């Protein structure tokens, strides 16, 4: 079903984009020869006066064919071609596709905000004696804005805090808005270790690693090797299976809330409404605890998971075995369940299993709905802009997702609900609009550049040169998409 959903969404998104080109072409009197959904052999065709409306066999997009669209093509008699129009009109025709794509995103977000509101950024828990604790931030606070900027995601909050400057947080607590002032401080580097086949004990602070200084670079080089962690009075030995290091950073000392511990659907022995209380005696209160349980399952029996901030051990626990005793609260009664670690790991990896920690923020005033939707779209567009240019600044393409990757994303969103599907659709259509505005040959942005140059130079660029440049750009674009598709396949195989 994920493939079907994806194809329907893709055809819809591309159709909106092409509708922009179609509408502006007709506005300026350019003849449109074809408006097609899909590619390849036709399945259905309805011929208009000058335009054929087609549904083609391969449903992976669509296109609009304009008369005289190829700058090297001879103009057919009786047709008004694209290049018979002045450069400013052609510029607007090329610009209309991306514009419609982006406007579709704004319209979708207005619908989403009206029906479901916006995601809230809430706090899971606050570390004692941290800047957040001193400022008065508490668990379950909802962060509405930071330094006057409305927030819809944890990324925005984290990025502003990591600048290290004093921040003003407006939070919602028990229905009331509060303003809190805090100054981020440098938090020491964090180390996360998974060891197996262990012996010995965990101490309070690390002195040495296998007789050498406690350094991230050394630990990284020791993955899949046996190490000895010296804590002074005690030591711990084992096979280092996983190691992650987060460098020093400015922070306030609180964790974001993502999901609650309440099941939103029946799965395995768990029922909708069950609230997790403990896993093998480990108390579960928030998503941070759920994340730790996942690490303990991955660690396995006979291993240990250790969290170290600076050189101080802040949390450690033995890995979990194949069978786990899970305690839940069901209809105000405690129920103990024997669950396999494999099943629990699958549950923790799946989207939409647990209820969100806090409800979306909803708005009743139409004006506020529109303002919030526009503001959220503006933020997304800015993030997309930075991400797109980040692709060309870095050789790492890990963040680029092609058609196969989008199939997976659509499938995951569908599991959560209609809100997530529409949000993903809005994100994709805005991304397509912004990507097409890049000043690259074969893209709308490249054609806009040629039209703009013609306006500035007051003369037409040689059609043969323009056609060749767009052809080369098209080949490069196809190769790029092939590369991204193979990257998607690699990610699927790695799962």
Query: Which residues carry out catalysis?
Result: 18
CB atoms closer than 10 angstroms to residue 224: 9
Structure tokens at 111: 């619908």
Identify the CA nearest to 250 among candidates 163, 330, 353: 163
Using alpha carbons only, how large is the chain's radius of gyration in Å? 28
DSSP 236: E
In the block, which residue shows the tokens 């790991």? Answer: 345
Q: Hey, which residues does 199 pair with through a beta bridge?
A: 237
In the block, which residue shows the tokens 């997976």? Answer: 408
Structure tokens at 295: 């690490």
Long-range (24+ apart) CB contacts under 8 A made by 475-478 are 476/441, 476/442, 477/440, 477/442, 477/443
Cα 329 from chain centre: 33
Q: Is 456 exposed, middle or buried (0-12, 13-18, 19+ CB in 10 A)?
A: exposed
Cα 237 from chain centre: 38
DSSP 222: T
Structure tokens at 276: 């997790």
Gap between the Cα atoms of 374 and 106, Å rounded:
6
Q: Are 471 and 71 in contact (CB under 8 A)?
A: no
């Amino acid at each position: 079903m994920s493939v079907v959903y994806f194809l329907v969404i893709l055809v819809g998104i591309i159709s909106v984009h092409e509708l922009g080109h179609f509408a502006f072409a007709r506005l300026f009197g350019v003849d449109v020869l074809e408006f097609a959904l899909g590619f390849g052999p036709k399945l259905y065709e309805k011929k208009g006066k000058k335009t054929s409306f087609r549904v083609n066999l391969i449903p992976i997009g669509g296109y609009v064919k304009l008369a005289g669209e190829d700058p090297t093509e001879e103009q057919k008699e009786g047709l008004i071609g694209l290049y018979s129009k002045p450069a400013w009109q052609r510029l607007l025709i090329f610009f209309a596709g991306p514009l419609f794509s982006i406007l579709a995103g704004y319209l979708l977000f207005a619908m989403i905000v009206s029906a479901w509101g916006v995601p809230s950024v809430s706090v899971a828990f606050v570390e004692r004696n941290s800047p957040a604790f001193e400022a008065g931030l508490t668990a379950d606070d909802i962060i509405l804005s930071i330094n006057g900027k409305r927030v819809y995601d944890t990324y925005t909050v984290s990025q502003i805090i990591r600048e290290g400057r004093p921040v003003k947080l407006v939070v919602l607590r028990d229905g009331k808005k509060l303003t809190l002032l805090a100054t981020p401080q440098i938090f020491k580097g964090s180390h996360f270790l998974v060891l197996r086949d262990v012996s010995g004990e965990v101490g309070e602070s690390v002195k040495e690693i296998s007789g050498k200084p406690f350094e991230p670079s050394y630990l990284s080089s020791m993955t899949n090797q046996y190490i000895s962690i010296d804590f002074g009075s005690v030591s711990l030995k084992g096979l280092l299976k996983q190691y992650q290091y987060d460098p020093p950073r400015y922070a306030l000392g609180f964790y974001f809330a993502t999901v609650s511990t309440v099941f939103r659907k029946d799965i395995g022995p768990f029922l909708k409404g069950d609230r997790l209380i403990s896993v093998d005696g480990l108390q579960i209160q928030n998503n941070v605890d759920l994340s730790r349980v996942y690490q303990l399952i991955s660690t396995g029996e006979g291993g240990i998971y250790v969290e170290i901030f600076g050189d101080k051990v802040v949390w450690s626990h033995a890995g979990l075995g194949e069978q786990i005793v899970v305690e839940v609260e069901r209809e105000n009664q405690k129920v103990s369940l024997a669950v396999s670690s494999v099943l629990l790991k699958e549950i923790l990896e799946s989207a939409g299993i647990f209820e969100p920690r806090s409800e979306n923020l909803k708005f009743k005033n139409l004006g506020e709905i529109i303002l919030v939707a526009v503001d959220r779209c503006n933020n997304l567009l800015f993030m997309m802009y930075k991400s797109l240019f980040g692709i060309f600044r870095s050789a790492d393409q890990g963040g680029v997702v092609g058609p196969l990757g989008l199939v997976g994303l659509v499938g995951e969103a569908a599991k959560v609900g209609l809100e997530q599907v529409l949000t993903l659709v809005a994100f994709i259509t805005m991304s397509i609009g912004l990507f097409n505005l890049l000043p690259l040959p074969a893209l709308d942005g490249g054609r806009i550049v040629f039209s703009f140059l013609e306006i500035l130079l007051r003369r037409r660029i040689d059609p043969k040169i323009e056609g060749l440049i767009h052809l080369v750009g098209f080949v490069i674009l196809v190769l790029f998409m092939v590369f991204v598709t193979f990257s998607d396949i690699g990610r699927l195989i790695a799962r």
